[in-house]
Structure 1
Amino acid sequence: MTETATPSADPIVPPPTASISEAPFSAAYTRYAMLLLLAIYTINFLDRSIINILAEPIKNELKLADWQLGLMSGLAFALFYTVLGIPLAQLAERRNRPIIIGTSVAVWSGFTALSGATTNFVQLVLCRIGVGVGEAGCTPPAHSLIADYVPKEKRASALAFYSMGTPLGGLLGLVMGGLIADAYGWRVAFLVAGVPGLLFALLCFLTLREPRKILAAHSARV
């Protein structure tokens, strides 16, 4: 007599666990944080590019040679921006990223505003070095924060949104710098370009949140 096989019980499927990549904050706060980071990145490029439109009046007033303009607007900025980018990125891997970003914004904005008070080539080069040092601490921690603020399926569009700061800042730097320089002089243009960054730095300190503890607690639960 053939025995009838008893159908086995359905395999037990464990309930799905929550994704560790879930956004740590509300959608409204994440939108605010993304807008603030975009504004910060916009003034990053504004302060970086405004020197280009102001080069001619600076050259005429301070009686600079072409090589001095090149050093001031190129090497003095780019060298420190490039060299310090990696150590500041490594610092952002361990420390509070909003504080790093806020400090960086305050440094480069302060040196941008201070550029308007310079009276010779050396002072202006030192200010441009300060701008490069400050701006080196912006993008690495900002990218890291965006990766934590936004779920993984939306990170590409979030990074693209943040990257809009490049053309926006470049455009504003050239247009605003030219208009203000024509009306009030290149010194005022530097001041107007630098002051808003100090406000954004304050907003960064007071309103941007570091999500590492929240994400670590969520990871421990799952």
Structure 2
Amino acid sequence: MIVYVLNFLDRQIVNILAEPISRDLGLSDTQIGLLTGLAFALFYTLLGIPIARYADNSGTNRVGLISISLAVWSAMTALCGLAQNFAQLALARVGVGVGEAGCTPAAHSLITDSVPAEKRSSAIAFYGLGIPIGSLLGLVIGGVLN
């Protein structure tokens, strides 16, 4: 759940800081829309399917997959902060999407394999709490930073 909190915190900070980012880099509304939507979502969505298939293999180290995913999207988030133009920021956001795509499929597979069936829905619900908690933290932290 903590990793999922970080997943959504990252998304909300970019959204709430879209205007200052736009001013700083001289981006158009279209470019901001691409950065907060398409650049991230397309790769997040498309890579989620093969990553889910990989995560479901019995020999896959799901904890390792989540760790690698977290490392990739953290590094790409740091690169977002270093971006000097639209192209650099777009590539970094794509990288964030690629990294974050490995979180949920591996987490669901891990929960399914390690939690008894009668407690599985509670475990998935607990994991899902990462969405509102991460969104709240992202908006609050982003608002304070702004």
TM range (shorter): over 0.9
Task: For 1:66, give the aligned amino acid.
Answer: D
Which residue is 2:138 aligned to?
Answer: 173
Which residue is 2:101 aligned to?
Answer: 136
In the alignment, which of 62, 66, 73 is matched to residue 29 of structure 2? 66
In the alignment, which of 91, 102, 109 is matched to residue 74 of structure 2? 109
Structure 2: distance between partners of 1:151 and 1:110: 35
Give the superposition deviation at 1:67: 0.3
Which residue is 2:125 aligned to?
Answer: 160
CA RMSD of aligned residues (A): 0.9
Which residue is 2:18 aligned to?
Answer: 55
Which residue is 1:40 aligned to?
Answer: 3
Q: Indicate if the aligned counterparts of 2:12 and 2:142 stay in contact, CA closer than 8 A.
A: no
Task: For 1:46, give the aligned amino acid.
Answer: L
Q: Matched residue pairs, number?
A: 144
- Moved segments of 4+, more than 6 Å: none
Which residue is 1:203 aligned to?
Answer: none
Paired residues for 1:117-128 under 5 Å:
117-128=82-93
Task: For 1:91, give the aligned amino acid.
Answer: Y
Q: Secondary structure at the match of 1:76?
A: helix
Give the superposition deviation at 1:149: 1.8
Task: For 2:29, give the aligned amino acid.
Answer: D
% same residue = 62
Give the superposition deviation at 1:114: 1.6
Q: Indicate if the aligned counterparts of 1:47 and 1:109 stay in contact, CA closer than 8 A.
A: no
Give the superposition deviation at 1:151: 1.1
Which residue is 2:41 aligned to?
Answer: 78
By percentage of residues, which structure has more helix?
Answer: 2
Query: Which structure 2 residue ranges, 5 or more long, are not aligned?
Result: none
Scaled by the length of structure 2, the TM-score of the pair is 0.95
**Which deviates further from its counterpart, 157-166 or 94-103?**
94-103
Task: For 2:121, give the aligned amino acid.
Answer: A
Q: Indicate if the aligned counterparts of 2:43 and 2:94 stay in contact, CA closer than 8 A.
A: yes
Give the superposition deviation at 1:173: 0.6
Q: Secondary structure at the match of 1:64?
A: coil
Deviations 1:133-161, CA, capped at 9 Å, x for gaps: 00111001101111122111111111101
Structure 2: distance between partners of 1:58 and 1:69: 8
Structure 1: distance between partners of 2:80 and 2:56: 32
Deviations 1:159-217, CA, capped at 9 Å, x for gaps: 101100000011111111221x23xxxxxxxxxxxxxxxxxxxxxxxxxxxxxxxxxxx
Give the superposition deviation at 1:62: 0.8
Deviations 1:109-147, CA, capped at 9 Å, x for gaps: 111122111111110001100000001110011011111
